[in-house]
Chains A and B, each alone.
Chain A
Amino acid sequence: MQHATPSSVVPDAEIIRTFAGIPGLLEQAPALIARGRFLDCECLLGPTGHPFHASIRGGRIVDLTPAPVLMRSWRFSYRATAAAWAEYWQPAPRPGWHDLLALTKREQAVLEGDLHPFMAHLQYFKDVLALPRLHAPAVPQ
């Protein structure tokens, strides 16, 4: 069954802090970096009201800077509510909160811009953005 509301109520600051830790988690996942080896991209990712400019080079997030940055361009953005990230990072997310495109379908996330880098590396982005799920102690409850 799909649920209308998330199970966790997490302060935005906790979500932002966890999101900021994703580049470090990615550095511990060489197989995931290898899957993104052909990806160089500027994108805007994160909580809806507090996204980050991400610079990806060869599958590594080499820079993650809180937006806005003056006149910084991005090719695509994926932004989701803090509640959506909190649910997405649970060890077993609830139905409808367990996938990036499930979140867009239920209007908890918005995907915009030139989607080519996102779609050409869809599983990479799903897995990179799920990294906090695999590091349960770091996931806010």
Chain B
Amino acid sequence: MNGTLEPMVGRYVHVEIDRSMHRIYFEESGAGVPLVCLHTAGSDGRQWRHLLADEEFAKKFRIIAFDMPWHGKSNPPASWSGGEYQLTTARYTETVRAFCKALKLEKPVVMGCSIGGRIVLNLAIDHAAEFRALIGLEAADFQAPWYDTTWLNRPDVHGGEVCAALVSGLIAPQSPDVSRSETLWAYKQGGPGVFKGDLYFYRVDGDLRGRVETIDTLVCPLYLLTGEYDFSCTPEDTMRTAAAIPGASVTIMEQLGHFPMSENPGQFRRYIAPVLNEILEQSSISTKQGEHA
């Protein structure tokens, strides 16, 4: 309806990452348990707009989605000299932790998709005690490459067009056209070389094979959910990863692909609502146990 205001609000927070100050854009809505949402490679926080606008979730969660530096409305830092952007495991981990610290979030839940799902696994390996629960969407310790990333940033191919065209196949055919189009639009808007730079983490630096076995889900519950149409991070990749982590919860989502929260928000809600409810219940039990200790 004309004049309708959506509930989320956007602000900037200054965050020191790698000894350099970054102006990070984030949107948030709701109140309660902090729930930090991480977007996919080459996109931005708009992917989470349906979750941010969910009135039921907002009653119990403070839902926050930020744009990674170089993405969306988070510009590169002033210190950037124009060199090739490359996301590393260390830098990504520091970015998420520094953002949470800057907003003074107390034991947040972190939910990430794709590269966000991969970094969630790294948070579970190295920093589990800082988080209430971790949710990896389209997450695995490793997945086989299916194209050469040099096509993503070269002067004789339109970067936005090729990035969007590549990932278009990761969207389930059942997803609504309007949501498919919106999901791809963010890829068409990405800065030159940013998607490629994110994939440095995904393809080269962030191989977690042989490390996920150390995740202790008693310290921090871990949920993995993957769409059946994701042929980049396949259901088999996620199930193999989960099988190595005692206590990890794994769900294969029907009629969804690599971008569940944006490609078909209604279908995604059916799968994420029980997870968020379980986290709330566990959080409530932990609080009561703490009160009676």
* A contact set with B: CB distance below 8 Å: 1-2, 91-93, 95-96, 98-102, 104-106, 115-116, 119-120, 122-123, 126
Verify A92–B173 contact, CB threshold 8 A: yes
Cα(A123)–Cα(B185), bound, Å = 13
Partner of B231, one of A91, A105, A120, A126: A105
**Given A2-B234, A120-B162: A105 and B146 interface contact (C-beta under 8 Å):** yes
By a CB distance below 8 angstroms, the chain A residues around B157 are 116, 119-120
Verify A105–B144 contact, CB threshold 8 A: yes
Closest to B229 in A: A95
A24 to nearest B CB, angstroms?
23
* B contact set with A: CB distance below 8 Å: 144, 146-147, 151, 156-158, 161-162, 164-166, 168-170, 172-174, 228-229, 231, 234-236, 252
Verify A1–B235 contact, CB threshold 8 A: yes
- Interface SS majority for chain B: loop
Verify B173–A98 contact, CB threshold 8 A: yes
**Given A93-B173, A105-B144: A1 and B228 interface contact (C-beta under 8 Å):** yes
Closest to A35 in B: B161
Verify B168–A123 contact, CB threshold 8 A: yes
Verify B169–A102 contact, CB threshold 8 A: yes
Verify A116–B173 contact, CB threshold 8 A: no
27 A–B pairs (Cβ distance < 8 Å), ordered by A = A1-B228, A1-B236, A2-B228, A2-B231, A2-B234, A95-B172, A95-B229, A96-B231, A98-B172, A98-B229, A99-B170, A99-B231, A101-B146, A101-B147, A101-B166, A105-B144, A115-B151, A119-B162, A120-B162, A122-B161, A122-B165, A123-B164, A123-B165, A123-B168, A126-B165, A126-B168, A126-B169
Verify A92–B231 contact, CB threshold 8 A: no
Closest to B184 in A: A123
B220 to nearest A CB, angstroms?
28
By a CB distance below 8 angstroms, the chain B residues around A1 are 228, 235-236, 252
Closest to B173 in A: A92
Cα(A92)–Cα(B173), bound, Å = 6
**Given A95-B228, A99-B169, A101-B169: A123 and B146 interface contact (C-beta under 8 Å):** no
Closest to B255 in A: A92
B187 to nearest A CB, angstroms?
11
B271 to nearest A CB, angstroms?
15
By a CB distance below 8 angstroms, the chain B residues around A105 are 144, 146, 231
Verify B234–A122 contact, CB threshold 8 A: no
Cα(A122)–Cα(B159), bound, Å = 12
By a CB distance below 8 angstroms, the chain B residues around A116 are 156-157
Cα(A94)–Cα(B261), bound, Å = 21
Using A119-B157, A122-B166 as known contacts, list a sample of 20 further A-B pairs with CB atoms less than 8 Å apart, ordered by residue number in A.
A1-B228, A1-B235, A1-B236, A2-B228, A2-B231, A2-B234, A91-B173, A92-B173, A93-B173, A99-B168, A100-B169, A101-B146, A105-B144, A105-B231, A119-B151, A122-B161, A122-B165, A123-B164, A123-B165, A126-B169
Cα(A120)–Cα(B161), bound, Å = 8
By a CB distance below 8 angstroms, the chain B residues around A100 are 169
By a CB distance below 8 angstroms, the chain A residues around B174 are 92
A38 to nearest B CB, angstroms?
10
By a CB distance below 8 angstroms, the chain A residues around B173 are 91-93, 98
